Amino acid sequence: MRLFTNGGRLAAAFTLLIASMPALAGHGHTDFEIGRDDENALVIEGDPHLFDGSERIELFPGDGIFDGLFIQQEPGWENVSADEPPDLFRLLPGHRVALQRVSFSPGFSMYDPFTAIEILAADGDFYEFPHAPPGSGDFHVDLIFAASGLEGDVFSATFQLIDLAGVHLPSEPFTLSFVNVPEPTSAALIVLAMAGLRRRVR
């Protein structure tokens, strides 16, 4: 169903551009989904190219308190909302799933999006995903990836999912790669916004 006339599409594209600018850099990757397998071990699902190292998450120049760093908030992290047999299921009640740092490249860091406080500052540190509403077992959070350095610098971060309540077994470690890139031009942002709009109106 078509929702906009041509003129309406253009106006909506500019609205989408303004509303989506902080997220456009990661718009091509879906959020990471966290669930469990049939043996109750934690598992993570997402773009396979991010897990096999063939694609890197792009970090863009930050501003404000992140001035001097390259940052990104996508992909986000959320729990699986429905069972997907045979190898992905919803988390069990009472869980306290957390993201644990195994190792980071020098210069790479992460921040809590609600407080802007650095998290996972040392190997072994963990961040417990906050439930919304509290006690529901559901979560969706866009943690902030950040890196120092110059355009073109590449970083890697290895994580593991753990359950502080012991309801689930730990996941296998997984590694994500990142690259510092320049700010998109206004024209590029408009193209990305239009592309996102086309996906929404089809």
Task: Note the pLDDT of residue 184.
Answer: 73
Distance CA(95)–CA(78), nearest Å, equals 14
131 and 137 in contact (C-beta within 8 Å)?
Answer: yes
Contacting residues for 30 by C-beta, under 8 A, at least 6 apart: 46, 47, 75
Collect the ranges in the chain with pLDDT lower than 50: 1-27, 186-202
Among 132, 176, 164, which Cα is nearest to 42's? 164
Task: Note the pLDDT of residue 185.
Answer: 55
Distance CA(28)–CA(50), nearest Å, equals 11
Task: Note the pLDDT of residue 1.
Answer: 31
Task: Note the pLDDT of residue 18.
Answer: 31
pTM of the model: 0.79
Task: Note the pLDDT of residue 153.
Answer: 99
Tokens of 191: 């193209």
Task: Note the pLDDT of residue 20.
Answer: 35
19 and 25 in contact (C-beta within 8 Å)?
Answer: no
Summarize pLDDT for 90-121 with one digit per residue, the tens: 999 999 999 999 999 999 999 999 999 999 99
Task: Note the pLDDT of residue 21.
Answer: 36
Q: What is the CATH number of domain 30-184?
A: 2.60.40
